[in-house]
Structure 1
């Protein structure tokens, strides 16, 4: 198994998308990239901790290649938006890839190059060394599946899930 830590706006969307993919064993929503130990959601939302809402994606590269995990990341959010995704604004919603070691950094750099070929305009996604990852509160875990009728899920997460399902149909888990 391999684990990537990625941030691209609200973690609910990333969580919802990655859970649909074959070979993804687990997705954990959490906070990383900041300076405050064990922050709460409320504190992260103030934008003062330096943390990003992120997901820890654990997957089997023999089932789904690492490049696909990373290309999905650049499909499900707009990497040209600095410190925001849509109406979610603040550094906690930044686009970032948190690498664990030189090998991941090289994979992430290659994914940035591929993304640059797909998106017009400058990509603002940062590459940051992974520090401490703090698991978000339980109610944030698998939020989309637990709250499918919630307004944000319907308006923001569902279109992202649908977009990835269409673009990566061969990697979607059977129902």
Structure 2
């Protein structure tokens, strides 16, 4: 009887120890992933100063939305670029035209849709830059950018004009 109890206690201790190790490893991995995610976004932020431009290489743009974090005079902005199904490249600010002031009015991609993180509205990636107004990404139309064979360039002046729509962007989230 004592041998059975000792075996059960050893088994219970072994299982408990394995659970502790697994939970500890999972927690460390999650912290590493969060740190990696945070460092990627801060490392990739491009600072655009007066007289400069945000330059997006066309060969980086695909049917998956590319996010380009930009800092202009201390204000964080983000530009999105995506290749539509017709092959054209579309650009917009990653902030919702309706929800921008909420702080959560930004988009994340799910399949072929961009989803507003404030209201949940889904917006087809093929519609980026085509519509102005409503709950969709703030478009950057052709007259506000320069496109050549290799790059899309957005001027400091236009980015500076647009900082107001990013005043609460992702604040506290």
Band the TM-score falls in, shorter-chain normalisation: under 0.3
Structure showing greater radius of gyration is: 2
Q: TM-score, normalised by structure 1?
A: 0.24
Which fold has the larger relative contact order, with Cα–Cα distance below 8 Å and residues 6 or more apart in sequence?
1
